[in-house]
Amino acid sequence: MTEKNLFWEHPVVFFITRMFILAGMMLVFAGFAYSIAVYTSKAIFGIDYLANPSLLTDFTAPSNLNALKYIQALTSAGIFIYPAWYFCKALHQTPAEFLKLNRRITFSEIALSITIVLAAMPFVSWLVYANGFLKLPASMAGLERELKAAEELAAKFTQAFIQADTLDVLWINLLVIAILPAIGEEFLFRGVLQNFVRLTTGKKHFAVWMIAIVFSAFHGQFYGFLPRMILGAALGYAYLFTGNLWISIIMHFVNNAFAVVSSYTPIKNNLPTVMQDGYVFESWMINAGSAVVTIGLLWILRNITFKRVWYNGE
């Protein structure tokens, strides 16, 4: 039975089996990349994680941080980029075509994409603040304590990773925290998963929101779930409206890069309070206006892309 026949005759079986294939690819590639990173860290950084596994959670020593960033970079490629690319091949599709990487992009679309991310920041920061007040039932107090402890550990890890006092560290952080995650996560979540769900169900809005939820859940941070889900939806609609994965990659990069650059000490020490990453405006009008403007800009992005494709026959 061919791939096409299996899809039409047993769409649920087709979907589930392909998700198992993708999950298997992620486990294999991630495990392989992580193993290579850990083994080669001894030769490159002089750190033997096999003999001292506790160092994998030690964020204090600068030399260890560099090694951890190296492991993060290789693992990120293993868990996101390679599985996404080879999953397309498993579907007998050309990766660049299936992911929509071969579409033309204009300067106005790039500028608008960046503006959308910046416009959304007040609303997203407020969502982070609001998400922090979520409480679990009293019967789940133990789970809530564990979630908060995990959140605090993740915050320490992020702060240690993102802190930069010199330009060379800033460039490394941009690569590890902004460039690779933007490419890898958009390859997997929007390019593969959202695309695949939309094609198999025929429901584009369902695909956007379903993958936005999966995207947020994958990061494993309960107290950041809501803002990350909304961010995932914005990226999903940008991809849906434009049919161009580079748009969502640029938006993802700008979002992460803003946090990286604003944590660079020479900039951080001179940055106005309202421009610092995570600043929450007290005015509900600013936060609500941020959401409205973001939606409006996404719609404008849809329209200018549609007109370009329609008139130019792209």
Structural domain contains residue 27: no
Query: Which residue in the block uniquely carries the two structure tokens 């599985």?
Result: 83
Q: What is the model's pTM? A: 0.90
Q: What is the pLDDT of residues 111-163, one digit of tens each?
A: 999 999 999 999 999 998 888 777 777 777 777 788 777 777 777 778 888 88
**DSSP code, position 314:** -
Q: What is the pLDDT of residue 92?
A: 87
Q: What is the pLDDT of residue 1?
A: 45
Q: What is the pLDDT of residue 123?
A: 94
By C-alpha distance, which of 190, 184, 200 is closest to 18? Answer: 200
CA 165 to chain centroid = 25
Burial of 149 (0-12, 13-18, 19+ CB in 10 A): exposed
Phi–psi pair at 31, nearest 5 degrees: -60, -40
- Bridge partner residues of 164 (DSSP): 264
Structural domain contains residue 186: no
Q: What is the pLDDT of residue 10?
A: 65
3-state secondary structure 90-126: HCCCCHHHHHCCCCCCCHHHHHHHHHHHHHHHHHHHH
User: Which sign, positive or negative, has the C-alpha torsion 12, 232, 304, 102?
Assistant: negative
Structural domain contains residue 79: no
Name the strand (E) or helix (H) holding 187: none
Q: Where do the H-state alpha helices sit in the chain?
A: 3-9, 11-45, 62-76, 82-90, 95-99, 107-131, 141-162, 167-173, 180-185, 195-201, 204-218, 225-242, 245-262, 265-268, 284-312
3-class SS of residue 264: strand
Point out the residues of the chain with pLDDT beneath 70.
1-10, 307-314
Domain of 302 in residue numbering reads as 103-166+203-312
Under 8 Å between Cβ of 106 and 308: yes
Structural domain contains residue 73: no
Structural domain contains residue 211: yes
Structural domain contains residue 227: yes
Structure tokens at 114: 């960046």
Report the distance separating Cα 215 and Cα 252, nearest Å. Answer: 12
Q: What is the pLDDT of residue 309?
A: 59
By C-alpha distance, which of 36, 29, 17, 39 is closest to 81? Answer: 29
Structural domain contains residue 1: no
Report the distance separating Cα 74 and Cα 37, nearest Å. Answer: 6
| Number of domains present in the structure of the chain | 1
